[in-house]
Amino acid sequence: MVHAADPANRYDAELKGRFEAREKDWRNGAIVYQVLPDRFAPAANLEAKRHLYPAPKVLRSWDETPKRGTYVESAKLWSHEIEFWGGDLQSLRAKLDHVQGLGADVLYLNPIHLAYTNHKYDAFDYNAVSPEFGTRADVKALAKDVHARGMKLVLDGVFNHMGRNSPKFKDAEANPKSPWRDWFYFGPPYPGGARSWWLAENLPEINLENPAVRDHVYAGKDSVVRSYLRDGVDGWRLDVAVDIGFEHLHGLTRAAHAEKPGSLVVGEIANYPKEWFPAVDGVMNFTLRALVLRLVEQKIEPQHAARMIDRMVRESGIEPMLKSWLMLDNHDEQRIATRVPDEAQRRLAQVLQFTLPGAPNVYYGSEVGMTGGGDPEMRAPMRWDWVRDDNPTLRWTKQLIQLRKQHRALRVGDFRLVESNRLFAFERHTDRAADTVVVVMNPTSQTVRETVMVANAKLMNNWMLVDQLGGGPKQMIVTGLLDLELPPGAFRVYVPELSPGGGYSAYKRVQ
């Protein structure tokens, strides 16, 4: 009896099981869809909940666009922070077909905790849901619906500060003997008498050095972090996590994992990410975002960007990088269609968002081409009238998501630079030749002709690579080299052509 030769080699033995384990972890390379509950889907019966928006709050029509307001000194906030559009958790549940249809793996909600503003970053009570959005029962129902569609649910945890109008803070401020006094930092050096986040007086910081505060937020069995996980939530995105610090982040992450093994804790950390693991599972990768945008806008040279990205991945580690969110826009940043108005440059950025290591974060509405400048313009209500099959931006977004879902290496593969002088090029790879994806792009204003080296010993000589996205012709790899010509703004996403027909494949004895 003749046995087939083992296609693996000694290098594969060192990798055995690594990529399979990554695939079993939903946090790796997930497609994340971000929603502002107030702005995503209009409530079915808005009149019935109009009483939830008493003056000076304002309830806007869905077709109105948010505009910058004025600072209200008495409330210590901006008037546009208390303008609402009426979305809630029930209306969100009614639109899950759209989220699932995109191919999202994770639904991430901006804060839903009881608070005064529309954005809810000024919590009154973490354990309660703002009535404009619903109840804890609605959270459980949403989690159930999300899970039934094969997706996960992540909430926004704002555990560095609360709201100035929260009952705990107001009592602590008025009474030095209040049981909540040590939950905050009071003293004459602080504007308004209490330490607040970046001197925003409406956002007094909480005292995480107080064990009672830690028990309430994450350490106790019935803490906020643990109880929502028991309600069906699968993870937390932590607002201004960098301000929470290493020790408290590590404690929170351990508590989340103890309550629900495999849950996700991702931190809003704009710093270079290297030392923030394992205090969090992943970061919102602002460093990678900045490099991508600077690269496509021709503010840094391709090889300069390549070296910086390569160093970041090596020093931070591929495992936490795969769990880190890569966003081009969100509720704090200009929408990508406004930030990068040139379509060719924008497409380059989006290709990188879906091929570099990480979990791509799609901000609601950007998949249909919504625009929006600084706060609050980027928080406009969802344009459901733009969700059409003939919308080119929506088709393009779905194409990118499907590309990622179809190629294992883009989800869980390692990262390696392709040797190039003027192009931006890299490889995502596993222990299988068939998984290899080679990404090459020309972000410059000149046509580039050059030879690049793909240091992958399993890519067979004199065999073709096929472009999956950029519309380019097949490209032969010869002795590990590619002779390329790319016009300005062009990109290629190559995979090996395993069996072109005729019954023969150069990959017959190579895994």
Q: In whole angstroms, what is the distance from residue 204 CA to residue 245 CA?
A: 17
Q: In whole angstroms, what is the distance from residue 314 CA to residue 413 CA?
A: 14
Q: Are 435 and 459 in contact (CB under 8 A)?
A: no
Catalytic residue among 38, 88, 268, 497: 268
Whether 268 is catalytic: yes
Instruction: Please report which helix (H) or strand (E) contains residue 327, including its range.
Output: strand 325-327
Tokens at 144, concatenated: 């159930």
Residue among 8, 24, 6, 27 at smallest CA distance from 16:
8
Paired strand residues for 265: 236
Catalytic residue among 239, 414, 427, 497: 239
Helices 343-355 and 392-406 pack at an angle, to 10 degrees, of 20
Residue among 284, 219, 285, 228 at smallest CA distance from 253:
219
Residue among 154, 407, 438 at smallest CA distance from 282:
154
Which residues, at least 6 apart from 20, have a Cβ–Cβ distance to it below 8 Å?
none
Burial class of residue 67 in the structure, from the number of CB atoms within 10 Å of its CB (0-12 exposed, 13-18 middle, 19+ buried): exposed
Q: Coil, strand or helix: which one is 286?
A: helix
Q: In whole angstroms, what is the distance from residue 32 CA to residue 413 CA?
A: 18
Q: In whole angstroms, what is the distance from residue 117 CA to residue 163 CA?
A: 9
**Which DSSP letter does residue 287 get?**
H
Positions annotated as catalytic residues are: 239, 268
